[in-house]
Amino acid sequence: MKYLEPILVFVVAVLSLIISLNKWSKLTNTHRLIVVSIIAFLLIIAIVQITNIATDKVEKDKENEKQSLVEKINAKFGDLNFDGEPVKQMRIGKREDGATLDLVDGVLSLSSFGQLFPSSSGQLLKLAIKDNRLLVYTIIRDGNGDVVAVIDGDTWTVFDDGYEYNDDNGKAFELVTKGDRRVFFQIEYKNNLVEISGFLLNADGEGLHIYDTGIGDYGAAMNPVVKSNYENRLKEYEIPRIFKYPRGKYFGVRQ
């Protein structure tokens, strides 16, 4: 297909040359209509093909960017040279009396929950504080393990058009579903503690779903997610949003 465009251009050029060499006057009206129709048809094909090639290139560039960022974040998990101070604890949910999780070198891994995920592994996120701002390194995935978004420090890149995000320059990050704007991932740094809610999933679509329950000793739930229960969890529990949307209109504006 990559040779189709120059061939079409050549054919159009030949037909145009026929017209320019005073052959046009010798053609009947029917033949003129046929020539014009052929030229128009070939031009349409060329335009469609060029558009498809351009679209394919955009998609390929997007996929390359995604893979590059995923590799970069995975490398960050094992990098002990921090840009800032590693976060040692984070709170489950948003209640002040909620339980906290200990992080190892700022990293939360599924290996810390061996009983819940005996056959799964993978680092879920890495957190650091620099100049009183939260730096987040994570690959946000859906229930199929597909990459939805990547956070590299304080920079978001969203790869799934079904989601949108908002943030406020290093204090809070939030990803919601488009349309109903249900919180999928949420993390905030306040009062010297990091609070987290939403989904943290690995490449197998397994991981954690964290949300406030309002009941119980810890005030929040942290339940295992596997493919069989992902859809139910996505619909059943609603986490209060931090920000207003869309971001283009309400950048960093809270509810």
Model pLDDT for residues 198-251, shown as the tens digit of each residue: 999 988 888 888 888 766 555 677 787 877 788 888 777 889 999 999 999 999
In eight-state DSSP terms, residue 122 is -
The token pair that represents 172 in the structure block: 């809070």
What pTM was estimated for this model as a whole? 0.73
Q: Is 193 helix (H, G, I), strand (E, B) or coil?
A: strand
**Residue 120: its pLDDT value, please?**
56
CA distances from 219 to 93, 100, 112, 152, 241 (A): 8, 11, 21, 30, 18
Burial class (CB in 10 A: 0-12, 13-18, 19+), 221: middle
Give pLDDT tens digits for 11-57.
666 666 666 655 667 767 887 788 778 778 877 877 777 777 777 77
Q: How many whole angstroms separate alpha carbon 110 and alpha carbon 117? A: 7
Which pairs count as long-range contacts for 223-228, CB under 8 Å and 24+ apart, including other chains?
Answer: 224/113, 224/116, 224/117, 225/143, 225/199, 225/201, 227/143, 227/144
Which residues have a Cβ under 8 Å from the Cβ of 139 and sit 6 or more positions away? 69, 70, 73, 74, 147, 150
Report the alpha-carbon distance of residue 209 to residue 198 in Å, rounded.
Answer: 5
Output the six-digit token pair for 139. Answer: 């690959």
